[in-house]
A and B are shown apart, each in its own frame.
Chain A
Amino acid sequence: MIRKYFLNFWLWWYGVRFYRLLLSIYSFWTLAFANLNILPMMANLFVPMYQDRSFSGRVISFFLRFSWVIVGLILQLLITIPLVCVVISWLSFPLVCIFQLINTLF
């Protein structure tokens, strides 16, 4: 009973569920990355957009793609920060609870 109702909680929180959480966060992160379309833009940095192969078309395309990548990476970073916070919160939450309880009691 102790194992099932108490020890397993810790195993679940830091084991199975944490692994699941990481998977969900990773999938959300990759989905966001794919939605921001950064990789196709990086891969085609020097390829003109809309098949416009004129000199001006190429230059404009390069700058557009470049700025797209920079903005995209910034946005991706902005998305990453709260996700990291979620992970840290998850890891620390039960420990903080216990710590605060001990702190209050003693």
Chain B
Amino acid sequence: MSSKLERSNERGNDVKLLKDVKLCMDLDYLLTGRGFRKVENIIQVILGRLLFWITFMFILGILITEYIHGSGFEIIFNPSNLLGLFFWSLAFLFAYSLYLLRNRIFFLDKPRTKNLHKLRDALAKRVRKKIELTNYINHNVLWILDYILNTESDNYLEVFANKMLKLSKVKILLDRLGIDISQLKRDHLRAISQQYAKTSVIKELIDKSFLYAFRNNLKYVDEQAFFLVFLSKFFQEDLRKNSVANKDLGGIELWLRNEALRTRYIELWKDRISIKPKSTVNRAYTSRYTPILNGFSRDFTNDVIQGEFVVSLARERELNHMVNLLEKGKKSAVLVVGEPGVGKTTLIKSLAVRMVIEDVPKKLKDKRLVGFDFNKAFSSSKNIESFKKKLRSVFDEVAQAKNVVLVLDNFNQLLNLRQELAGEIANIIIDSFDSNDFRLIATTDRSQFIRFIRPNRALAGMFSQVEMPVPSDEVAMQIVIDEVSKIESEYNVKISYSAVKASIELSHKFAYDRVLPDKAIDILKEAVVNFKHLSGKRPLEYDEVAKVISSKVGVKLGSITQDESEKLANLEQQMHKRIIDQNEAVQAVCGALRRARSGLSEAGKPIASFLFFGPTGVGKTEVAKTVADVYFGSEDRMVRIDMSEYQEEENLDRLIGFTSEKGAFEGGFLTEPVHKNPFSLVLLDEIDKANSKVLDLFLQVLDEGYVNDGIGRKIDFSNTIIIATSNAGSSVIADLLGKGENYNKVLENALKELKKVFRIEFLNRFDKIIMFKPLSPKEVKLIARKFVEQVRLKLLDKGIKLIYDDKLLARLSKIGYNPIFGAREMRRVVQEEVENKVAEMIVKGEVKSGGEVRL
């Protein structure tokens, strides 16, 4: 059975209900206010208040005087003189003052007894054939419409916008959207105002706002609904400039819908709490007290009665499923299975809210939802026998009480209090459930269910399961929005929609052991605490949340700052400080990094993947190190795997991890570092030497951006840069370049060689395959200079000046470069030829601080 509120929400969402209904709009009615509706209303209220107090005081004065004079109330009941006339005139004016005061809503307008909630019910019963839209507009909007329609202006839309922007609810809405009112450009509205007739624009706005309010379950067509429609119609450009996409407007719509539901829940809660029993027995006194359970319990329904309640649209499906299962028969046991942090306890709390507002089947009405704290019961027990006795007593109490739905949160813990006790406790539960009638809800996570519950078939068979999957981003958004008002009031801060969006989107970038919505809520709370000094000043935005996550992962997220922008623009120059030539490789890598930082890289794949091939010692690994340093902030962020160690198929386990004979899990050399630090550069050195089965693993990594490790964990590679290196095709490259062929021709032939080594589908998975050229003598000399410069700077720190000439560089180039090994030997040669010589001179005292060395 779906709940009343949910059915009502469905109706609210279902605009099809309006299909056969005639929608009318009486603009004449709006025109009758002549533009002074609001002014008249204000005057009327002031007059009413004056009249009320004056008449009240006079009447009181007359009554007191009459009483003091002891003439009774003769003058009132038998008025014959001027005072009597005065008294009854005042009495009538008193009544009239009530009219002026209390009817301020009805004075100029048709009675506002109609609202959209009632309309939905009427439409569901098909008793309504015609709807007058103006009856459902709230007064703030009505006053503005009245003013606009009755005032001559060639820029009526700007007047409308200005009046709307003064309303507090509209200001809140813009805060949520992260739009600054002063930056909202209104110049273009003049042209639109002159282009379109006023009445047709107003009619369209009313029409769309009505549908908006109707489908979002609002009570009236209020200023927020009206302004959102107005904004999306006339401020597309401003929304785009403020990075507000249509999807975000949808998110705000969701927010409004949640707030509308919360308001309804609060109304229902206020209605119900006074009739709720003050003790633990039910209203009919048919139930029993539960003294033992009360000592170790948390009463969820009582928490709701005390005002602590959650409202969530997000888990309606699971909640209804649970309610349906609980409703069956005289006894029922439901097991809620879901990952930690997925919202199992929140689901229980939502059920408690439904039970308190009596939006549940009859069998669950006037019942308590009580969580049994078995850990407390266990720790307060003298011994095992005492605990078992207590456990039996609790089940007996619940069975006899008849008004308790028992909750065993983290049920697996009860079975795992002591390993040797698991069987006995399970038997107590099964026996109690078999011999008594009661309703039970237990929660556990999937792995614990498999480990502790499923093996006991009798126990597992007792329960009906409700699966709680990890929510999608959209559902998580709803759940986080539910939490926002609580966080806002707790920390006295305003949270914008973009901050909520950031907490969801960016939560995927860290804490892989945790799930949505829990980790998004935690990020949001952490951001609120970190930026508490902003409380009350401005709403918490996307970038604040991004900063919190950036500090966790060590990579900049959120919008690009000026400094960073310059750094990204000059990325090539930065890389060339470390890498000599290899322009194609540097450009490809820099392009990929810029794409990743600007958010244009493809989701669900690594940030970038490259295959570098070419002769050895030409800078392939150096490029990888530089990328790790430049993008991830340190060379330590590089996970280097020597693929020549994975020449056998059996070696695959070492990459993804395996369970040892002792039962312990040995993390993989590939998966474990990436799991611990997802923002890494993965360098697969000499990939051509790896077994083909091992390479198949990387097909998935490169294509899907994840791989399952040895214990089935999903290891995410979407924040990694993958660089594979290979020496395949080096000889062809050297030969053809030696013959003076151009780069493209050499690349073409080298790729043919590469295809002989790797399968086509493997090569196709890389974003780019980059050929590294052998180094020219000029480049070798530059490399030699780079290393000698490093030595020079080192000596300069010690106060020794190193002077060298081109001859030294030429000599080093000749010794340090080999066509087969490239410049790999250069560092060693510089050590021998430069560092060793200078060191010898220092040791012998030939050179001291302040001196110089010539080489």
Q: Which residues of A contact B (CB under 8 A)?
A: 4, 8-9, 12-13, 16-17, 19, 31, 34-35, 37, 40-41, 43-44, 47-51, 65, 93-94, 97-98, 100-101, 103-105
B106: chain A residues within 8 A (beta carbon): 12, 16
Q: A31-B274, A51-B400, A51-B402 are in contact. Are A104 and B84 (CB under 8 A)?
A: yes
Q: Is B89 an interface residue (CB 8 A)?
A: yes
Nearest 4 pairs between A and B by C-beta?
A40-B284, A97-B92, A100-B88, A34-B275
Q: Known pairs A50-B286, A51-B286. 13 more at Cβ < 8 A?
A: A8-B99, A12-B99, A12-B106, A16-B103, A17-B99, A19-B113, A47-B286, A50-B288, A51-B402, A93-B91, A94-B95, A100-B88, A101-B85
Minimum CB–CB distance for A83 against chain B, Å:
17
Whether A47 lies near B284 (C-beta < 8 A) is yes
Q: Is B79 an interface residue (CB 8 A)?
A: yes
Whether A31 lies near B275 (C-beta < 8 A) is yes
Whether B103 lies near A101 (C-beta < 8 A) is no
Closest residue of chain B to A9 (Cβ to Cβ) is: B99
A-B contact pairs, 14 of them (CB 8 A): A9-B99, A17-B103, A35-B274, A43-B284, A50-B285, A51-B287, A51-B400, A51-B402, A65-B285, A94-B92, A101-B92, A103-B79, A104-B84, A104-B85
Q: Which residues of B contact A (CB under 8 A)?
A: 79-81, 84-85, 88-89, 91-92, 95-96, 99, 102-103, 106-108, 111, 113, 274-275, 281-289, 366, 400-402
Minimum CB–CB distance for A44 against chain B, Å:
4
Closest residue of chain B to A33 (Cβ to Cβ) is: B275
Closest residue of chain B to A97 (Cβ to Cβ) is: B92
A9: chain B residues within 8 A (beta carbon): 96, 99
Closest residue of chain B to A94 (Cβ to Cβ) is: B95
A98: chain B residues within 8 A (beta carbon): 92
Q: Which of B79, B89, B286, B366 contacts A49 (CB 8 A)?
A: B286
Minimum CB–CB distance for B336 against chain A, Å:
29
A93: chain B residues within 8 A (beta carbon): 91, 95
Minimum CB–CB distance for B844 against chain A, Å:
103
Give the complex CA separation of A65 and B286 in angstroms. 11
Minimum CB–CB distance for A54 against chain B, Å:
14
Minimum CB–CB distance for A39 against chain B, Å:
9
Minimum CB–CB distance for B50 against chain A, Å:
15
Whether A104 lies near B79 (C-beta < 8 A) is yes
Whether A40 lies near B283 (C-beta < 8 A) is yes
B95: chain A residues within 8 A (beta carbon): 13, 93-94, 97
Give the complex CA separation of A13 and B108 in angstroms. 15
Minimum CB–CB distance for B763 against chain A, Å:
75
A19: chain B residues within 8 A (beta carbon): 113
Whether B80 lies near A50 (C-beta < 8 A) is no
A104: chain B residues within 8 A (beta carbon): 79-81, 84-85, 88
Closest residue of chain B to A90 (Cβ to Cβ) is: B95
A65: chain B residues within 8 A (beta carbon): 285
Whether B400 lies near A41 (C-beta < 8 A) is no
Give the complex CA separation of A17 and B359 in angstroms. 31
Minimum CB–CB distance for A28 against chain B, Å:
11
Give the complex CA separation of A88 and B852 in angstroms. 114
Whether B88 lies near A101 (C-beta < 8 A) is yes
A48: chain B residues within 8 A (beta carbon): 286
Q: Is the interface of A mostly helix, strand, loop or mixed?
A: helix
Q: A12-B106, A97-B92, A101-B92 are in contact. Are A37 and B283 (CB under 8 A)?
A: yes
Minimum CB–CB distance for B624 against chain A, Å:
74
Whether A17 lies near B102 (C-beta < 8 A) is yes
Whether A100 lies near B275 (C-beta < 8 A) is no
Minimum CB–CB distance for B682 against chain A, Å:
66
Minimum CB–CB distance for A38 against chain B, Å:
11
A101: chain B residues within 8 A (beta carbon): 85, 88-89, 92
Whether A51 lies near B283 (C-beta < 8 A) is no
Minimum CB–CB distance for B35 against chain A, Å:
16
Closest residue of chain A to B89 (Cβ to Cβ) is: A101
Give the complex CA separation of A35 and B271 in angstroms. 11
B402: chain A residues within 8 A (beta carbon): 51
A12: chain B residues within 8 A (beta carbon): 99, 103, 106
A105: chain B residues within 8 A (beta carbon): 85
Whether A16 lies near B111 (C-beta < 8 A) is yes
Minimum CB–CB distance for B610 against chain A, Å:
72
Give the complex CA separation of A13 and B106 in angstroms. 11
Minimum CB–CB distance for B96 against chain A, Å:
6
B111: chain A residues within 8 A (beta carbon): 16
Whether A97 lies near B284 (C-beta < 8 A) is no
Give the complex CA separation of A37 and B95 in angstroms. 37
Whether A13 lies near B99 (C-beta < 8 A) is yes
| Interface core residue of B111, B113, B274 (most chain A CB under 10 Å) | B111
Q: Which of B85, B91, B92, B289 contacts A50 (CB 8 A)?
A: B289
Whether B88 lies near A44 (C-beta < 8 A) is no
Give the complex CA separation of A27 and B89 in angstroms. 33
Minimum CB–CB distance for A106 against chain B, Å:
11
A97: chain B residues within 8 A (beta carbon): 88, 91-92, 95
B286: chain A residues within 8 A (beta carbon): 44, 47-51
Whether B275 lies near A35 (C-beta < 8 A) is yes
Whether A51 lies near B288 (C-beta < 8 A) is yes
Give the complex CA separation of A9 and B84 in angstroms. 23
Minimum CB–CB distance for B112 against chain A, Å:
9
Closest residue of chain A to B76 (Cβ to Cβ) is: A100
Whether B284 lies near A41 (C-beta < 8 A) is yes
Closest residue of chain B to A23 (Cβ to Cβ) is: B113
Minimum CB–CB distance for A20 against chain B, Å:
8
Closest residue of chain A to B78 (Cβ to Cβ) is: A103
B102: chain A residues within 8 A (beta carbon): 17
B400: chain A residues within 8 A (beta carbon): 51
Minimum CB–CB distance for B273 against chain A, Å:
11
Minimum CB–CB distance for A15 against chain B, Å:
8
B89: chain A residues within 8 A (beta carbon): 101
B96: chain A residues within 8 A (beta carbon): 9
Closest residue of chain A to B40 (Cβ to Cβ) is: A4
| Interface core residue of B95, B102, B113, B284 (most chain A CB under 10 Å) | B284
Minimum CB–CB distance for B38 against chain A, Å:
16
Closest residue of chain B to A100 (Cβ to Cβ) is: B88
Give the complex CA separation of A16 and B79 in angstroms. 31
Q: A97-B92, A105-B85 are in contact. Are A44 and B284 (CB under 8 A)?
A: yes
Give the complex CA separation of A4 and B401 in angstroms. 61
B108: chain A residues within 8 A (beta carbon): 4
B81: chain A residues within 8 A (beta carbon): 104
Whether B84 lies near A100 (C-beta < 8 A) is yes
Give the complex CA separation of A51 and B286 in angstroms. 6
A40: chain B residues within 8 A (beta carbon): 282-285, 366
Give the complex CA separation of A13 and B394 in angstroms. 59
Give the complex CA separation of A37 and B285 in angstroms. 10
Give the complex CA separation of A49 and B401 in angstroms. 11
Closest residue of chain B to A48 (Cβ to Cβ) is: B286
Minimum CB–CB distance for A27 against chain B, Å:
9
Minimum CB–CB distance for B751 against chain A, Å:
82
Give the complex CA separation of A4 and B89 in angstroms. 20
Whether A50 lies near B88 (C-beta < 8 A) is no
Closest residue of chain B to A27 (Cβ to Cβ) is: B271
| Interface core residue of B81, B88, B113, B282 (most chain A CB under 10 Å) | B88
Give the complex CA separation of A94 and B284 in angstroms. 45
Minimum CB–CB distance for A37 against chain B, Å:
6
Give the complex CA separation of A101 and B84 in angstroms. 8
Give the complex CA separation of A19 and B282 in angstroms. 35
Give the complex CA separation of A101 and B83 in angstroms. 11
A41: chain B residues within 8 A (beta carbon): 284-285
Minimum CB–CB distance for B617 against chain A, Å:
88
Give the complex CA separation of A103 and B108 in angstroms. 33
Give the complex CA separation of A30 and B92 in angstroms. 32
Give the complex CA separation of A41 and B277 in angstroms. 13
Give the complex CA separation of A75 and B102 in angstroms. 31
A31: chain B residues within 8 A (beta carbon): 274-275
Give the complex CA separation of A37 and B99 in angstroms. 37
Minimum CB–CB distance for A11 against chain B, Å:
9
